Amino acid sequence: MKHPDPSNVKRILIVKLYGIGNALLSIPFLKEVRTLFPNAKITILIERRSLAVFNGLDVWDELLFLPEKFILGKFKLLFKMIKSRPDIIFSSFLMNNKTCEKCFRLSGAKYIYGHPTDGNSTYYTTSLCYDRNKHEVLLNMDLLKPFMNFDKNKIKIDFPIPQEQKKLANKIIKTLSEQKTVKIGMHIGCNWDMPQKRYPEKKFAILADKLIQKLNAEIILFGGSDEKALGEAVSLLMEEKPVNFIDKYNLTIVAALIQKCDLFISNDSGLMHLAASVGCPLISLFGPTSTKKNAPWGDPAIIKIIKSKKSCSPCHIPGNMIDCSAGECMELIQVNDIFHMAKKMLNSKINQF
């Protein structure tokens, strides 16, 4: 199939569903689209839960939101797609929404690129095979292969933080204790529909206490509005007192605060990817999800991954729910393994005091 001349493309619709982490992993792809198609109006269809990421990006002209009620919503969705009159649709990885796919052809788009649900290429003019051993960043970039070549070693995710937000983060950090040796951020949650990715609350509490008692660390809890109860539960389980920033600041300020941390410890989550994108040293905890697809994208010298030793891990199939009892494989990750990794990564800072 002959592909269009990028300079002649006037309207592009990008479908980028799911949460904060998926949105962050699409940033390199979105930036290339903006560069490759200089004359195109770029519309992105997103879920509201990822809006905070797109608010900080200059890669789009219009945002559309996936309707939450699909009986009526699918007609609204089709109307929005038709109204955007796209020349091209890029269905950014992973598309597991058949309602969206059915609307692609009806939108009038001549060129439709994507990873089909269940291998069904009916709704696409150019369909890509899903390689489960490939990272999501690269799966997104593969959509542009008809138009460009890319070097995966040069791909970076840079989440922009305005100077005003950085200054505010500095003021907030200065309110914390000056007696602490290091600042360690933690994200103890994850997306609400996959609680199996969470490290157990009790173990997070034990780990936080040990970091405070052994390394004189300031522990800072981060998270969204749906994780306030989780943060309170972990705080109650601790002997020491953490700083609780859960649901206190918007995503851009959170990014600036994480950038100020000496280390960030997190489940596989959107904030894990945010920490990687701002260059914060990071320990990622993985159980049911794949590190091949979901690993933090950044400098491997400052990003470490601790994986569950359960024989069936990872079990998650992207686009589907995790079908196992909550926390089963995350339980097998030992507190001491995380602590020793943290101590090793913080060694130079600890030895200064």
Please compute the mean of the pLDDT values over residues 219-240 and round it to a whole number. 96
Which residues, other chains included, contact 353 with Cβ-Cβ below 8 Å and sequence gap of 6+?
181, 216
CATH of range 163-350; options 3.40.50.2000, 3.40.50.300, 3.90.1300.10, 3.30.70.100: 3.40.50.2000
pLDDT digits (tens, 9 = 90+) for 10-58: 999 999 988 999 999 999 999 999 999 999 999 999 999 999 999 989 9
Q: What is the pLDDT of residue 188?
A: 96
The position carrying tokens 């103890």 is: 188
Q: What is the pLDDT of residue 273?
A: 98
Residue 191 pLDDT > 90: no
How far is Cα of residue 302 from the mean position of the Cα atoms in its chain?
Answer: 18
Nearest to 47 by CA among 69, 28, 22, 19: 19
Cα–Cα distance, 252 to 234 (Å, whole number): 25
CATH 3.40.47.10, domain 6-154, yes or no: no
Straight-line distance from the first to the last Cα atom of the chain, in angstroms, rounded to the nearest whole number: 64
Nearest to 222 by CA among 256, 188, 175: 188
Report the DSSP beta bridge partners of residue 267: 285
Cα–Cα distance, 140 to 32 (Å, whole number): 11
pLDDT digits (tens, 9 = 90+) for 81-136: 778 889 999 998 766 667 777 788 888 899 999 987 666 678 889 988 878 889 99
Element housing 25 (H / E): helix 20-25
How far is Cα of residue 289 from the mean position of the Cα atoms in its chain?
Answer: 13
Please compute the mean of the pLDDT values over residues 199-213 and round it to a whole number. 97
> What are the helix (H) ranges across 163-200?
163-174
Biggest CA-to-CA distance, the chain: 65
How would you list the strands of the sheet with 62-65, edge to edge?
Answer: 62-65, 41-46, 11-16, 88-91, 111-114, 126-127
Cα–Cα distance, 299 to 287 (Å, whole number): 22
| Range in 61-75, 207-221, 332-346 with the lowest mean pLDDT | 61-75
Asked whether this chain's domains 6-154 and 163-350 adopt the same fold, the reply is yes
Enter the DSSP assignment of 153.
G
Cα–Cα distance, 114 to 134 (Å, whole number): 15
Q: What is the pLDDT of residue 261?
A: 98
Peptide bond preceding 288 in cis form (omega within 30 of 0): no
What is the domain partition of the chain in residue ranges? Answer: 6-154, 163-350
